[in-house]
């Protein structure tokens, strides 16, 4: 009974640790049975993620090797300082000599200074290297997004792409600047400390090692929970970014329809989801770290208990003598042993964030562009502007044909207009010519060459597109016209503006070409944005110009300016026009009327009126409507 009482404190500590272990195992078993949607999305193995991330670190291997050697010097402090402190304790207790004390303190201070310098150099090298890797990842993601087809981009919310380019690389950057090196350092410190403890007193070391299996078990369980909650946080962050990107852009519509409260409610729901996900992550990490700290305290209690008991009663454990200097050194070594483990928990938490972010990024990078260059695709230095559709079939969704066997021919420098009801395939034809989508059947030829045999960049270089919804970038007028086109003087920019009548309003602005353009050009009218779009097209000297409802939603005065510009632009190259106002296309060389993805009529304005078919009915309807409005 006395032996039981003697070891009662140790049994109590063991019982507490055992109870927590059982509770964690039960929670882990329960979690393994849960198969919800977020868990299914996280399916890339950690090994594969690490392999791919290491490809980004490979060009900077010299920097990491340098950091490794610098790190070795800083580790010396963790390994040697407990021995020095123990020696100082022994020195004070036994034969005290002031000179030896000075020497010991000086040695300790020297090692500390070297460790601090090494830590500083390590941090600086890693930060510079990490930022380079971060920039490369962002560049790769952004460049890959540029290669995706219009269909793929339509299926991915803008906010999601913003998160992939901005937020996620930041999480990965921390992995290169801190996590990997800290993991390596802590691992070496643990091994080094363990070796030092074995040489100092293997009996006490064996006692400490009794706690290691529990640390490993807790870490494995924590990994399961941590991976799950990090995915939830990433998904919630992406969701709120997507919602903000869409609704901030459409805030005017929200205000017009007085839906502020409804949108605020939706935003609060997403904010609460993000808050809940982050609280779950904090809860998981808040349990794991105290568990490791509990093992640290338990090992210290056992150290003090067995050490003091052996010292007081003069007991030798496995022939090992325990004195005060060994107790002091071992106390510091246990701290050095468990501190890296606790740090590993935090680093592991950040590592899971990095892995979750990396998988999201690789999901984007693994998207195979649907419209790509053929292996034998050619450069096309110049084109005449001859366009031909041969029995073209196209659908956005399987078996829902938008174009059905469309065939037509456009001569160089000819003006061809496409008309028809909404959904008849007019805009689709223009998108296919630029190869924004690939057709399922038939052929599209430019100057007798299948467009799939031409490099996409080379093909689009010869097209100038002027759309109904003109997109202007934040900056100034000059940058929006040039779009970074090199070697163009201000004189040439003004010539282009005069050619399309854009100088009529630019010249009245206080700063001229340097006038600030706010987001999406909202400080300019629809007509002014359209004229800037024309100038942008002219400055790039296209061989084929595409106008998709370019004269819609503008006032009569601006329409006259645009019509005059169009007449001038007809002399530049082939022109393809989509228009609902038939009055704007009367001078086209050929007018193609589409209905349900098929050509039902084509010819000049006068020829189609003479036929008195669908075009005649449509023109008569618009003419009578205009006469009523004028009356």
Which band of pLDDT confidence, cut at 50, 70 and 90, is reported for residue 202? confident
* Residue 621 and residue 582 share a domain: yes
Query: Residue 536 CA to chain centroid, in angstroms?
Result: 30
pLDDT tens-digit map of 206-260: 777 777 777 777 777 776 777 778 778 878 887 888 788 778 777 777 877 787 8
If one counts every other C-beta atom within 10 angstroms of the C-beta of residue 156, the result is: 15
pLDDT value, residue 514 = 87
Helix (H) or strand (E) holding 516: strand 516-517
Q: Is the pLDDT of residue 543 over 80?
A: yes
Q: Is the pLDDT of residue 464 over 80?
A: yes
Asked if the structure places residue 509 within a domain, the reply is no
Question: DSSP character for 520?
Answer: G
CATH of residue 196: 1.20.1560.10
- Within 13 Å, how many C-alpha atoms sit on residue 615's CB side? 26
pLDDT value, residue 42 = 52
- Tokens linked to 244: 């903000």
Cβ contact 597:404 at 8 Å: yes
Asked if the structure places residue 408 within a domain, the reply is yes
Asked if the structure places residue 527 within a domain, the reply is no
* Residue 228 and residue 185 share a domain: yes
Low-confidence winner among 273-277, 292-296, 610-614 (lowest mean pLDDT): 292-296
Low-confidence winner among 77-91, 118-132, 499-513 (lowest mean pLDDT): 77-91
Contacts of 172 (CB under 8 A, 6+ apart): 53, 133, 134, 137, 354, 357, 358, 361
- Partner residues linked to 547 by β-bridges: 466, 577
Helix (H) or strand (E) holding 406: strand 400-410
**Neighbour order of strands in the sheet with 441-446:** 400-410, 387-397, 441-446, 449-450
d(CA 552, CA 305): 87
pLDDT higher for 105 or 471? 471
* Phi, psi (rounded to 5 degrees) for 21: -65, -45
Asked if the structure places residue 484 within a domain, the reply is no
In the three-class reduction of DSSP (H, G, I as helix; E, B as strand; rest coil), residue 514 is classed as helix
CATH of residue 621: 3.40.50.300
Low-confidence winner among 195-199, 308-312, 393-397 (lowest mean pLDDT): 308-312
d(CA 371, CA 130): 33
If one counts every other C-beta atom within 10 angstroms of the C-beta of residue 287, the result is: 17
Residues 327-349 have a mean pLDDT of 72
pLDDT value, residue 281 = 79
pLDDT tens-digit map of 290-322: 777 777 777 777 766 766 665 555 455 555 556
Residue of 184, 151, 55, 185 whose CA lies nearest to 439: 151
- Partner residues linked to 403 by β-bridges: 394
Contacts of 383 (CB under 8 A, 6+ apart): 446, 447, 462, 543, 544
Q: Nearest 5°: CA angle at 352, between 346 and 354?
A: 105
Contacts of 185 (CB under 8 A, 6+ apart): 71, 74, 75, 340
Q: Is the pLDDT of residue 85 over 90?
A: no
pLDDT tens-digit map of 358-373: 888 898 888 888 888 8
Counting other chains too, the contacts that 390-394 makes at CB distance below 8 Å and 24 or more residues apart are 390/442, 390/443, 390/444, 390/445, 391/441, 391/442, 391/443, 392/432, 392/439, 392/441, 392/442, 392/443, 392/444, 393/439, 393/440, 393/441, 393/442, 394/428, 394/432, 394/437, 394/439, 394/440, 394/441
* Residue 399 and residue 314 share a domain: no
* Residue 353 and residue 397 share a domain: no
- Tokens linked to 347: 């680093």
Asked if the structure places residue 531 within a domain, the reply is no
d(CA 163, CA 237): 8
Enclosing domain of residue 167: 18-365
* Residue 402 and residue 346 share a domain: no
- Burial per residue of 426-461, b for 16 or more beta-carbon CB atoms within 10 angstroms, e otherwise: bbbbbebbbbbbebeebebbbbeeebbebebeebbb
Residues 323-350 have a mean pLDDT of 71
* Residue 399 and residue 318 share a domain: no
From residue 208, how far is each of 20, 87, 325, 498 by CA, in Å? 18, 22, 18, 84
Classify the phi-psi angles of 596: left when phi > 0, otherwise alpha if psi is within -120 to 50, otherwise beta.
left
If one counts every other C-beta atom within 10 angstroms of the C-beta of residue 250, the result is: 12
pLDDT value, residue 110 = 77
Of 336, 365, 394, which residue sits at a domain end? 365
* Residue 416 and residue 275 share a domain: no
Residue of 155, 219, 160 whose CA lies nearest to 186: 219
* Residue 360 and residue 388 share a domain: no
- Tokens linked to 577: 């026009």
Cβ contact 130:67 at 8 Å: no
pLDDT value, residue 403 = 92
pLDDT tens-digit map of 405-463: 999 999 998 989 999 888 888 889 988 998 888 999 999 999 999 999 999 888 888 88
Residues 508-527 have a mean pLDDT of 83
| Mean pLDDT value across the chain | 79
What total of structural domains would you count in the chain? Answer: 2
Question: DSSP character for 580?
Answer: S
Cβ contact 134:173 at 8 Å: yes
* Residue 408 and residue 269 share a domain: no
Q: Is the pLDDT of residue 4 over 60?
A: no
Asked if the structure places residue 549 within a domain, the reply is no
In the three-class reduction of DSSP (H, G, I as helix; E, B as strand; rest coil), residue 524 is classed as coil
Asked if the structure places residue 569 within a domain, the reply is no
Cβ contact 596:403 at 8 Å: no
- Tokens linked to 25: 């195992």
Q: What is the DSSP string of 612-628?
A: TSHHHHHHHHHHHHHHH
Specify the pairing of strand 516-517 against strand 475-476.
Answer: antiparallel
Q: Nearest 5°: CA angle at 445, between 441 and 447?
A: 170
d(CA 458, CA 377): 10
pLDDT value, residue 599 = 92
Contacts of 515 (CB under 8 A, 6+ apart): 476, 477, 506, 509
* Residue 95 and residue 130 share a domain: yes
Asked if the structure places residue 50 within a domain, the reply is yes
d(CA 206, CA 198): 8
Which band of pLDDT confidence, cut at 50, 70 and 90, is reported for residue 19? low
* Residue 428 and residue 304 share a domain: no
pLDDT tens-digit map of 577-601: 888 777 778 888 899 999 889 999 9
**Percent of the chain beyond pLDDT 70?**
79
* Residue 271 and residue 136 share a domain: yes
Of 365, 398, 427, which residue sits at a domain end? 365
pLDDT value, residue 388 = 94
pLDDT value, residue 36 = 46
pTM score > 0.85 for this model?
A: no
Angle between helix axes 490-499 and 526-539 (nearest 10 degrees) is: 120
pLDDT value, residue 349 = 66
Residues 120-146 have a mean pLDDT of 86
Of 332, 365, 398, which residue sits at a domain end? 365
* Phi, psi (rounded to 5 degrees) for 579: -150, 145
pLDDT value, residue 629 = 62
Residues 338-347 have a mean pLDDT of 70
Query: Residue 482 CA to chain centroid, in angstroms?
Result: 28
């Amino acid at each position: 009974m006395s032996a039981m009482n003697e070891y009662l404190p140790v049994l109590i500590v063991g019982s507490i640790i055992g109870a927590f272990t059982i509770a964690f195992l039960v929670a882990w078993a329960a979690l393994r049975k849960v198969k919800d949607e977020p868990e299914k999305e996280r399916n890339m193995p950690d090994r594969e993620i690490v392999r791919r991330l290491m490809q980004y670190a490979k060009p900077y291997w010299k920097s990491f090797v340098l950091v490794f050697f610098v790190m070795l010097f800083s580790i010396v402090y963790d390994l040697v300082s407990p021995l020095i402190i123990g020696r100082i304790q022994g020195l004070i207790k036994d034969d005290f000599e002031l000179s030896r004390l000075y020497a010991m303190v000086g040695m300790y201070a020297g090692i500390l200074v070297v460790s601090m310098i090494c830590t500083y150099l390590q941090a600086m090298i890693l930060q510079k290297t990490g930022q380079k890797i971060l920039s490369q990842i962002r560049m790769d993601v952004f460049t890959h997004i540029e290669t995706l087809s219009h269909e793929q981009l339509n299926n991915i919310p803008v906010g999601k792409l913003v998160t992939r380019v901005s937020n996620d690389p930041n999480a990965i950057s921390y992995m290169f600047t801190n996590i990997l090196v800290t993991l390596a350092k802590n691992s070496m410190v643990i091994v080094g400390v363990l070796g030092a403890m074995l040489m100092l007193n293997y009996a006490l070391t064996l006692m400490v090692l009794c706690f290691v299996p529990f640390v490993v078990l807790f870490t494995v369980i924590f990994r399961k929970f941590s991976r799950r909650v990090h995915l939830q946080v990433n998904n919630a962050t992406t969701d709120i970014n997507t919602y903000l990107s869409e609704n901030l852009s459409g805030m005017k519509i929200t205000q017009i329809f007085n839906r502020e409260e409804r949108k605020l409610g939706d935003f609060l729901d997403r904010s609460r989801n993000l808050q809940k996900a982050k609280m779950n992550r904090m809860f998981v990490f808040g349990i794991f770290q105290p568990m490791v700290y509990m093992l640290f305290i338990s090992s210290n209690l056992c150290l003090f208990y067995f050490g003091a008991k052996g010292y007081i009663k003069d007991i030798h454990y496995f022939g090992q003598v325990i004195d005060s200097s060994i107790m002091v050194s071992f106390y510091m070594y246990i701290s050095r042993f468990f501190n890296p483990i606790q740090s590993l928990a935090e680093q592991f938490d950040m590592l899971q964030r990095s892995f979750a972010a990396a998988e999201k990024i690789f999901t984007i990078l693994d998207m195979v562009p649907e419209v790509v260059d053929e292996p034998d695709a050619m450069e096309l230095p110049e084109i005449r502007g001859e366009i031909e559709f041969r029995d073209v079939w196209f659908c956005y969704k399987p078996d829902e044909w938008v174009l059905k066997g469309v065939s037509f021919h456009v001569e160089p420098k000819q003006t061809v207009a496409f008309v028809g009801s909404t959904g008849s395939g007019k805009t689709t034809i223009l998108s296919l010519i630029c190869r924004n989508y690939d057709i399922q059947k038939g052929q599209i030829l430019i100057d007798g060459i299948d467009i799939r045999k031409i490099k996409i960049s080379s093909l689009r270089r010869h097209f100038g597109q002027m759309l109904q919804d003109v997109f202007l970038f934040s900056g100034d007028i000059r940058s929006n016209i040039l779009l970074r086109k090199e070697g163009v003087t201000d004189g040439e920019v003004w010539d282009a503006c005069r050619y399309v009548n854009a100088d009529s309003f630019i010249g009245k602005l206080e700063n001229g070409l340097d006038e600030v353009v706010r987001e999406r050009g909202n400080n300019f009218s629809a007509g002014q944005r359209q004229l800037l779009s024309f100038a942008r097209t002219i400055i790039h000297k296209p061989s084929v110009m595409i106008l998709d409802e370019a004269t819609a939603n503008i006032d009569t005065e601006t329409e006259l300016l645009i019509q005059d510009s169009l007449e001038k632009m007809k002399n530049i190259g082939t022109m393809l026009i989509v228009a609902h106002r038939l009055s704007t296309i009367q001078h086209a060389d050929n007018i193609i009327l589409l209905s349900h993805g098929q050509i039902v009529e084509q010819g000049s304005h006068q020829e189609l009126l003479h036929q008195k078919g669908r075009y005649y009915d449509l023109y008569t309807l618009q003419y009578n409507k205009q006469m009523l409005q004028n009356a």
